[in-house]
Amino acid sequence: MAWRPLLDFLFPPQCANCNALGSGLCDACAPRGHHVRIRLPSLAVTALAPYEGSLRAAVLALKDGRRDVAEALGRSVAPLVEPGSLLVPIPTTPKRRRARGLDGVALVARYAADIAGARVLLALEQRSGDAQRGRSRTQRLAAQGRFACSATTIAARRVILFDDVCTTGATLRDCAAAVREAGGLVEDAVVVAAALHEAGTREPATKSGHPWSKPTRN
């Protein structure tokens, strides 16, 4: 984009964790090492890293509408995205999208898909503005039927759900149910971070660079 160099000059990207200029999440603060895999009922989730430290700071900055952080997270999470796959991002509420000026999860998904050679499909929508943030674990797990998916958009298509954080996994399970109800096929999800004290059963970690070489399922 022709205006991007000027925008970066006037408002340079700044690390959400250490404030260094140059990127929304600098190389020193970006997570490294093994990815995290979480087993939810009927869904396998791969996360870049636990939801803590510098990655938590970046996700919170994304929720505040930081586009530079979205781009940095997209680069970091791109190795988790299988080339040729079809990503379906979990949508935010219309109220939050208006307040932030963007849908952060969808934007991260687009950056990651462009790098990985995948595609993004905006197939889900929230039936209500009933967000999970601020709810107790019991309330999160009880939430169902909050998303809708168009059968004409997704029927018979294999997709991978995409989100910023897996906490209890309730939102991912709810979205997977909506996809299946519409005739879509979904077994996997990719998230930026996982709250390990809240999420489902943890599987053996996968080496960076080949996250889709999945453990054998029973």
Q: Please tell me the predicted confidence (pLDDT) of residue 206.
A: 52
**Residue 90 to residue 93: CA distance in whole angstroms:** 10
Question: Residues for the chain: how many in total?
Answer: 218
Which listed CATH number (3.40.1350, 1.10.3470, 2.40.50, 3.40.50) goes with 35-206?
3.40.50
Show pLDDT as tens, one digit a residue, over the chain (218 residues): 444 554 554 568 999 999 999 999 999 999 988 899 999 988 999 999 999 999 999 999 999 999 999 999 999 999 999 999 999 999 988 888 888 888 999 999 999 999 999 999 999 998 765 554 544 444 444 456 789 998 888 999 999 999 999 999 999 999 999 999 999 999 999 999 999 876 655 665 555 544 544 433 33
Amino acid at 197: H
Domain regions of the chain by residue span: 35-206
Strands, E, within the chain: which ranges? 35-40, 43-50, 86-89, 119-120, 124-126, 147-149, 158-166, 185-194, 201-206
Q: Please tell me the predicted confidence (pLDDT) of residue 104.
A: 94
Q: Please tell me the predicted confidence (pLDDT) of residue 135.
A: 46
Amino acid at 105: V
Which residues make Cβ contacts (< 8 Å) with residue 77, sequence separation at least 6? 48, 108, 112, 190, 192
The residues with which 88 forms a beta bridge, in sequence order, are: 161
Q: Please tell me the predicted confidence (pLDDT) of residue 180.
A: 96
